[in-house]
Amino acid sequence: MADTMKSVAFDGARTATESPVKRFFRATEIDTRLLGMIGALLIIWVGFEILTGGLFLTPRNLWNLTVQTSSVAVMATGMVLIIVTRNIDLSVGSLLGFCGMIMGVMQAQILPAYLGAGSPMIWIVTLVVGIAVGASIGALHGLIIAFLNVPSFIVTLGGLLVWRGATWFVTSGQTVAPMDATFRLMGGGTEGSIGATASWIVGLIACLAIVAALLNARKQRKRFGFPRRPVWAEYVLGVLSCVLVLGAVLVANSYYWPVNIARRYAEANAIAWPEGGLQISHGIAIPVLIAVVVGIVMTFISTRLRFGRYVFAIGGNPEAAELAGIKTRWVTVRIFMLMGALCAIAAAISTARLNAATNAQGELDELYTIAAAVIGGTSLAGGTGTIAGAMLGAFVMQSLQSGMVLLGIDSPFQRIVVGLVLVVAVWLDTVYRARAK
């Protein structure tokens, strides 16, 4: 009892001496590293907005930015688990290209002969085959790494070369196009968006889900006797999250169809063309929805399932994890298998967006994916990383690239910037870990 009273008195004294800002962050439990990354993103946006003369923060550019980020963001969620276990995967870009080529050949050449051109099953079978191929290749990498004890760096470096070469051999270097009409919706564009009304519905559902998650977390903390956040902190988190979601929906709905496409749509549907033109909102793009769903699922896997706990346990101390009874080798196989499946999903988004499967597809994506995970707070020393951070890191990387394109900066210099950002991110992680000890 005396110890409890002393602890309460100490906490009260500490709270009284803390600044309001520290008390706010302690009460809301906001990840300061994630908040710092958001601050860096805002600085990048404001800087490019000034340098481009107001072109960067337009609804059109922000909408395109989210679509362009989707495929790398999907792969970055898997790369988090890879790096957390002290491994690396250098083959993701080549695997994306190979899966994309397989899916392109399936829907453009093979399936129409069996299912008939325009069959609604083409895109479904194509996606299933692509994910199966990606997961199988990932499992192969994992088996070699886990059971033959070959370092992941070497295995995936070999995979980078093997699957890039295999992509060429599938069609002898030829580009495969066009893709199935329904499959193309996964790439975004005018038709690959859900429109204004559906976007608001998705936004409201997301807000309800956020509120439900906060209430459930508070209930679980009370149930197990864990300390709960102050009620005002719960309100702040809920309001901030909902404002961000609805703000993103507003931006997506502020980007309208091009005039020519809107005019053709009006003519096809016998709609009178108004004097000021017909404004039809794109809304949220389908690839963005896919990336968000993947992020939610991967967050659930990494934080709520036993498999996720095993992953972080292995990254924290592999020897202790094995002594605790965790089958570390099979966990490694499943991680790389999951990474392969995510590469296939990213390949579907990329192929649908290009409306073609090419030999150059996915080149250097392995670097952007690793950079996104590291910038998002995933430590190369293992044991630390978040899915949300990696997806935000992908957004930061794409923002840099998009801003440099708008400024007319050459591609070689863009790669220099990406390399410097990656080195700085690793250095900051090293500094952060040293101070945390």
Q: What is the per-residue pLDDT across 251-310, written as a single tens digit (0 to 9) for each?
A: 999 999 888 888 888 888 888 888 777 888 999 999 999 999 999 999 999 999 999 999
Give the chain's domain count: 2
Per residue in 194-239, pLDDT tens? Answer: 999 999 999 999 999 999 999 998 898 888 888 888 888 889 999 9
* H runs (alpha helix) in 285-327: 286-304, 306-316, 318-323
Among candidate residues 132, 75, 135, 125, the one with its CA nearest the CA of residue 105: 125
Last residue of a domain, one of 284, 299, 321: 284
Q: Are residues 234 and 182 in the same domain?
A: no
Reading the block at residue 258, the tokens are: 């091009």
In a domain, 16, yes or no: no
3-state percent helix, strand, coil for the chain, nearest multiple of 5: 75, 0, 25
| 290 phi/psi in degrees, rounded to 5 | -60, -45
Q: Are residues 266 and 333 in the same domain?
A: no
Task: Identify whether the C-beta of residue 97 lies closer than 8 Å to the C-beta of residue 347.
Answer: yes
The per-residue pLDDT for 117 is: 82
Query: Does residue 181 sit in helix, strand or coil?
Result: coil
Q: Are residues 121 and 151 in the same domain?
A: yes
Per residue in 406-424, pLDDT tens? Answer: 988 888 888 888 788 878 8
What is the distance between the alpha carbons of residues 344 and 92, in angstroms, rounded to a whole number?
9
pLDDT of residue 14 exceeding 70, the answer is no
In a domain, 17, yes or no: no
Domain of residue 159, residue span? 32-193+285-436
Q: Are residues 85 and 142 in the same domain?
A: yes
The per-residue pLDDT for 266 is: 84
Could you tell me which residues come within 8 angstroms of residue 261 by beta carbon, excluding any fewer than 6 positions away? 190
| 221 phi/psi in degrees, rounded to 5 | -65, -40
Q: Are residues 430 and 324 in the same domain?
A: yes
Q: Are residues 51 and 121 in the same domain?
A: yes
In a domain, 228, yes or no: yes
pLDDT of residue 350 exceeding 50, the answer is yes
In a domain, 15, yes or no: no
Least confident range from 36-45, 176-185, 258-267, 428-437: namely: 428-437
**54 torsion bin: left (phi>0), alpha (psi -120 to 50), beta (else):** left
Q: How far is CA 168 from the centre of its chain?
A: 27
Q: Are residues 108 and 55 in the same domain?
A: yes
In a domain, 4, yes or no: no
Which DSSP symbol is given to 194?
A: -
The two counts, helices (H) then strands (E), for the chain are 18, 0
Q: Are residues 235 and 376 in the same domain?
A: no
Handedness of CA 284, 356, 134, 73 (dihedral sign): negative
- What type of residue sits at position 297? V
Per residue in 63-114, pLDDT tens? Answer: 999 999 999 999 999 999 999 999 999 999 999 999 999 999 999 999 998 8
What is the distance between the alpha carbons of residues 183 and 348, in angstroms, rounded to a whole number?
8
| In the chain, % of residues over pLDDT 90 | 62
Q: How far is CA 3 from the centre of its chain?
A: 46
Q: Are residues 220 and 248 in the same domain?
A: yes
Task: Identify whether the C-beta of residue 86 lies closer than 8 Å to the C-beta of residue 381.
Answer: yes
pLDDT of residue 10 exceeding 50, the answer is no
Q: Are residues 295 and 321 in the same domain?
A: yes
Which DSSP symbol is given to 256?
A: B
Among candidate residues 420, 366, 434, the one with its CA nearest the CA of residue 83: 366
Which residue has 């906001």 as its token pair? 30
pTM listed for this prediction = 0.91
Q: Are residues 216 and 289 in the same domain?
A: no
Reading the block at residue 137, the tokens are: 């290749």
In a domain, 409, yes or no: yes
What is the distance between the alpha carbons of residues 433 and 37, in angstroms, rounded to a whole number?
16
Within 13 Å of residue 260, how many CA atoms lie on the same side as its CB?
0
The per-residue pLDDT for 9 is: 44
* H runs (alpha helix) in 52-151: 59-84, 92-105, 111-115, 122-147
Handedness of CA 141, 166, 68, 355 (dihedral sign): negative
Task: Identify whether the C-beta of residue 54 lies closer than 8 Å to the C-beta of residue 351.
Answer: no
Query: Does residue 252 sit in helix, strand or coil?
Result: helix
Among candidate residues 418, 397, 416, the one with its CA nearest the CA of residue 37: 397
Last residue of a domain, one of 247, 265, 284: 284
In a domain, 54, yes or no: yes
Q: Are residues 42 and 185 in the same domain?
A: yes
Last residue of a domain, one of 261, 284, 307: 284
